Chains A and B, each alone.
Chain A
Amino acid sequence: MIHSETFAEIATLKERNLIALKEAREAGRHAVGTYCLFSPTELILAAGAIPVSLCGTSQKPIPAAEKVLPRNLCPLIKSSYGFAVTDTCPYFHFADFLLAETTCDGKKKMYELLGELKPIHVMQLPQIQDEAALDYWLMEIGRLKTRLEREFGVRITDKALTEAIRLMNEERRSLQALQDVCKAIPSPISGLDLLTVLHNRGFSVDRRAAIELVDRFAAELRQMAAAGISPFTESTPRILLTGVPVGVGSEKLIRIIEESGASVVCLESCGAYKKVEQVREGGDPLRAIAERYLKVPCSCMSPNTGRLELVERLTREFRVDGVVDLTWLGCHTYAVESSVLKKHLQQRTGLPFLQIETDYSESDTGQLKVRVEAFLEIVHRSMKRTA
Chain B
Amino acid sequence: MVSVGIDIGSTATKAVVFDGMVRGRAVVPTGWEPREAGLRAFREALSSAGLREESVSRVVGTGYGRVSLPFSDQRVTEISCHARGAWYLNPDTRAVIDIGGQDSKVILVSDDGSVSDFIMNDKCAAGTGRFLQVMAGILDLTLDELGSLAASSEPVPLTSMCTVFAESEIIGLLAQGTPKGAIAAGIIDAIARRMEGLVGRLEAHEGITFTGGLATNGSISGVIARRLGLSLHVPEDPQIVGALGAALIGCNA
Where the two chains meet, the residues of A that have a C-beta atom closer than 8 Å to any C-beta of B are 339, 352, 357, 363-364, 366-367, 370-371, 373-374, 377-378, 381
Given A370-B64, A370-B78, A373-B77, A378–B123 Cβ distance below 8 Å? no
Query: Which of A339, A366, A370 has the most chain B CB atoms inside 10 A of its CB?
Result: A370
Q: How large is the interface on B (under 10, 10 to 19, 20 to 34, 35 or more residues)?
A: 10 to 19
In the assembly, what is the distance between CA of A373 and CA of B77, in Å? 7
Given A377-B115, A378-B115, A370–B123 Cβ distance below 8 Å? no
A353 CB to closest chain B CB, in angstroms? Answer: 8
Do residues A377 and B123 form an inter-chain contact, with CB atoms below 8 A?
no
In the assembly, what is the distance between CA of A339 and CA of B119, in Å? 12
Residues from chain B with a CB closer than 8 A to the CB of A364 are 123
A142 CB to closest chain B CB, in angstroms? Answer: 44
B149 CB to closest chain A CB, in angstroms? Answer: 32
Q: Give B108-124 interface residues, CB cut-off 8 Å to A.
A: 114-118, 120, 122-123
Query: Which of B78, B123, B201 has the most chain A CB atoms inside 10 A of its CB?
Result: B123
With A374-B79, A378-B117 known, 6 other A-B pairs at CB within 8 A are: A357-B122, A370-B77, A374-B78, A374-B118, A377-B115, A378-B116
Q: Give B53-90 interface residues, CB cut-off 8 Å to A.
A: 64, 76-80
Residues from chain B with a CB closer than 8 A to the CB of A352 are 117
Point out the residue from A339, A371, A377 that lies within 8 Å of B120, measured CB to CB.
A371
A-contact bits for B101-138, CB 8 A (1 contact / 0 none): 00100000000001111101011000000000000000
Where the two chains meet, the residues of B that have a C-beta atom closer than 8 Å to any C-beta of A are 64, 76-80, 103, 114-118, 120, 122-123, 201
In the assembly, what is the distance between CA of A364 and CA of B118, in Å? 18
In the assembly, what is the distance between CA of A378 and CA of B119, in Å? 13
How many interface contacts (CB-CB < 8 Å) are there between A and B? Answer: 32
Residues from chain A with a CB closer than 8 A to the CB of B64 are 366, 370
8 interchain pairs (CB within 8 A)?
A: A339-B201, A367-B123, A370-B64, A370-B79, A374-B77, A374-B115, A378-B115, A378-B116
Residues from chain B with a CB closer than 8 A to the CB of A339 are 201
Do residues A381 and B114 form an inter-chain contact, with CB atoms below 8 A?
yes
Do residues B103 and A367 form an inter-chain contact, with CB atoms below 8 A?
yes
Residue of B whose beta carbon sits closest to that of A373? B77
Do residues A363 and B123 form an inter-chain contact, with CB atoms below 8 A?
yes
Residue of B whose beta carbon sits closest to that of A367? B123
Do residues A374 and B123 form an inter-chain contact, with CB atoms below 8 A?
no
In the assembly, what is the distance between CA of A381 and CA of B115, in Å? 9
Residue of B whose beta carbon sits closest to that of A372? B77
Point out the residue from B77, B103, B201 that lies within 8 Å of A377, measured CB to CB.
B77
